[in-house]
Structure 1
Amino acid sequence: MGPPAATLAPLDSHALAGLREHVHRALRHAILSGGFEPGARLNERAIAEQLGVSTTPVKEALRLLEADGLVKTKPRSGVIVNFDYAWAEEMILARAAIESTIARLAAQRISQDEQPVLEQILSDMRSATASEGAEELVRLNELFHGHIRSIARANYLRQLNDRQDVYDSDARRVIHSNPAERERALAEHSEIGRAIIARDAEAAEAAMKAHVLRAGESYLDLVFRKKKD
């Protein structure tokens, strides 16, 4: 029985009320950042020891991860990491299709009151990029995309997109660990924002699709392709 592949920091034992969710988040981040190889077996006891918790929240977290599709239980093999290159690639393509359509609708539906909010978020993103605040950039990135969804007022597409949220935050943390990526993302977000404010639906759709696909390629490089070098 060996330790898990990823290095997991011990959790605060006083946060018992949300312990299952803390374990869930820690494992999800480890999987999405490439800490576990596809097909790796996750040993509950070893994970519990590394996190400094009992096996109960680990078992519960693994069930949540299975519902997310990131792990699966195999007879005689236990819990196996299900997240791999093909899964990640499909995730990126799905997000590109959904987000680009939402951006198109946002450009068609944006009101005058909503424009200054989008401009302020972009201004804050420029400041955070200059100060290299990765965590703040992740927060602003989510705020930016969330505001665009709000502007679009597309409930059906928003429900589809919400299913991607399990991946997006952790994927963004991986991507924004790269300084060059942060600069590219700022330029792309600015292009998307300008197109939406200008009510240019085609440009907004194209810019969003290009951004998601390009950022997705960076994610695949960092998490999967780097291991082949």
Structure 2
Amino acid sequence: MAETDQSTARAAQFAKIDPAFQVTVRDHVYRTVRSAILSGSFATGEKLNERGLAEQFGVSTTPVKEALRQLETEGLVEALPRRGIVIRFSSQWAEEMILARAALESMIAHLAAKRIGKQAKAELQSVADLMKKATASGDADRLIELNEMFHDQIHDCSRCTYLAKLIERQQFYDASIRRVIHLDPAERQKALEEHLAIAQAIIAGDSDLAERVMRDHVVRSGDTYLNIVFGKQEDI
């Protein structure tokens, strides 16, 4: 038991929950642990200790159990008889998530190019222009914010509901990983070029081009993520 507790504590430290936080305790635990798993804080096959997690969050074991069950439905963890909860997230699993996200995002971009209105075109171009400025200044936090805004606008103008729901489970970048990516000047420039190409295709109404450049962007940025998270583990 002591070894398991030490393993959990070593992998990631979680702060106690602020009572004013406006989500359920279960959801907060779920989101925080999920983010830690996806950012590589836990190794594949590593055990998670429910009681140790509950103590770190300052909550009972009930919301922790519920959060872990939710993570199990996504395949990120698995409850094994007599072994407890173990991490199942791996480089192979991450690669499949990236490909699934690429397929969904590319179809959303395809529909956005078909359905975008005049005002939405102006708004998308405005965000693209802001991304140029943030890239030039090297403002990683601003780029993270604009990146999310950019993709949200594409989702909105695509008027997709079913695909937007499906893509929720394919969100695997957390802020720390995005920051590492955006601190690299070469990566910032490459991402900007890709975002500008996506915006241009959607605004021009070229659905096939929008689909292709979006897919290529997600796959390439996903490869960068894999190198950061799992390349780090291979060096240990």
TM-score between both structures, scaled by the size of structure 1: 0.87
Identity of counterpart residues, as a percentage? 48
Instruction: Note closer, same or farther for the CA distance 1:201–1:90 as it changes in structure 2 (3 Å cut).
Output: same
Instruction: Note closer, same or farther for the CA distance 1:6–1:134 as it changes in structure 2 (3 Å cut).
Output: farther
Question: Given the alignment of the two structures, is residue 85 of structure 1 paired with residue 91 of structure 2, yes or no?
Answer: yes
Instruction: Note closer, same or farther for the CA distance 1:157–1:24 as it changes in structure 2 (3 Å cut).
Output: closer
Deviates more, 1:67-76 or 1:134-143: 134-143
Q: Which residue matches 2:101? A: 95
Superposed displacement of residue 225, structure 1? 2.1
Q: What are the within-5 Å matches in structure 2 for residues 19-98 of structure 1?
A: 19-98=25-104
Q: Which residue matches 1:205? A: 211
CA distance in 1, matches of 2:202, 2:227: 29
Question: Given the alignment of the two structures, is residue 124 of structure 1 paired with residue 126 of structure 2, yes or no?
Answer: no
Task: Write out per-residue CA displacement over residues 120-163 of structure 1, whole angstroms, 9 at most, x where no aligned residue.
Answer: 22223334434544444333222211211222223333332233
Q: Which residue matches 1:177? A: 180
What secondary structure, in the 3-state scheme, does the structure 2 residue paired with 1:37 have?
coil
CA distance in 1, matches of 2:27, 2:163: 27
CA distance in 2, matches of 1:201, 1:183: 24
Q: Which residue matches 1:225? A: 231
Q: Give the aligned residue type for 1:174.
A: I
Aligned residues: 226
CA distance in 1, matches of 2:190, 2:55: 40
CA distance in 2, matches of 1:219, 1:6: 19
Runs of 4+ in structure 1 over 6 Å off: none
User: Which of 182, 200, 204 does residue 194 from structure 1 map onto?
Assistant: 200
User: Which of 129, 145, 148 does residue 151 from structure 2 map onto?
Assistant: 145
Instruction: Note closer, same or farther for the CA distance 1:45–1:123 as it changes in structure 2 (3 Å cut).
Output: same
Superposed displacement of residue 91, structure 1? 0.6
Question: Given the alignment of the two structures, is residue 9 of structure 1 paired with residue 14 of structure 2, yes or no?
Answer: yes
Question: Given the alignment of the two structures, is residue 113 of structure 1 paired with residue 116 of structure 2, yes or no?
Answer: no
Deviates more, 1:120-129 or 1:28-37: 120-129
Instruction: Note closer, same or farther for the CA distance 1:173–1:122 as it changes in structure 2 (3 Å cut).
Output: farther
Q: Give the aligned residue type for 1:37.
A: A
Superposed displacement of residue 100, structure 1? 1.2
Instruction: Note closer, same or farther for the CA distance 1:28–1:124 as it changes in structure 2 (3 Å cut).
Output: same
User: Which of 168, 180, 191 does residue 162 from structure 1 map onto?
Assistant: 168
Deviates more, 1:110-119 or 1:100-109: 100-109
Q: Give the aligned residue type for 1:8.
A: Q
Q: Give the aligned residue type for 2:127.
A: I
Does the CA contact (< 8 Å) of 1:175 and 1:222 recur in 2? no
Superposed displacement of residue 13, structure 1? 4.6
Superposed displacement of residue 23, structure 1? 1.8
Does the CA contact (< 8 Å) of 2:38 and 2:172 recur in 1? no
Does the CA contact (< 8 Å) of 2:35 and 2:172 recur in 1? no
* Structure 1 unpaired stretches of 5+: none
What secondary structure, in the 3-state scheme, does the structure 1 residue paired with 2:82 have?
coil
CA distance in 2, matches of 1:202, 1:46: 50
Calculate the aligned-residue CA RMSD, in Å. Answer: 2.2
What secondary structure, in the 3-state scheme, does the structure 1 residue paired with 2:11 have?
coil
TM-score between both structures, scaled by the size of structure 2: 0.85
Superposed displacement of residue 107, structure 1? 1.5
